[in-house]
Amino acid sequence: MTDLTDDEQRIIDHLGEGLSRGQQYFRSKNIAEQLGLSAKQVGVRLSKLADDADDSDVDIDIEKWGRARSTTWRVTSV
């Protein structure tokens, strides 16, 4: 099991709320604006969460989906 930082937990909570509204795609830039972080901080943490998904208690799957002006992440419930 991986211990989550406060920022990682805030990001997971934000993604979970979005999933409950039917959202599946999230942009780092938009998450950052909502949580008061930089897009780079969000991207680094989401990459780590995506890599550590098998070793954590997080019940969502995070996949880097595309990159335009801001990285897009596809998030699904598992």
Q: What is the pLDDT along the chain (78 residues), one digit of tens a residue?
A: 468 899 999 999 999 999 999 999 999 999 999 999 999 999 999 999 998 866 667 788 999 987 777 789 999 988
What CATH number did the domain enclosing 72 receive? 1.10.10.10
What does the pLDDT read at residue 56?
A: 66
**Is 1 part of any domain?**
no
From the centroid of its chain, how far is CA 60? 9
Residue that is written with structure tokens 């943490």 in the block: 45
Residue 60 located in a structural domain: yes
Total domain count, the chain: 1
pTM over 0.75: yes
56, part of any domain: yes
Residue 51: which H helix or E strand, with range?
helix 39-51
Distance CA 28, CA 6 (A): 17
How far is 64 from 74, CA to CA, in rounded Å?
6
Q: Which residue has the tokens 């799957």?
A: 61
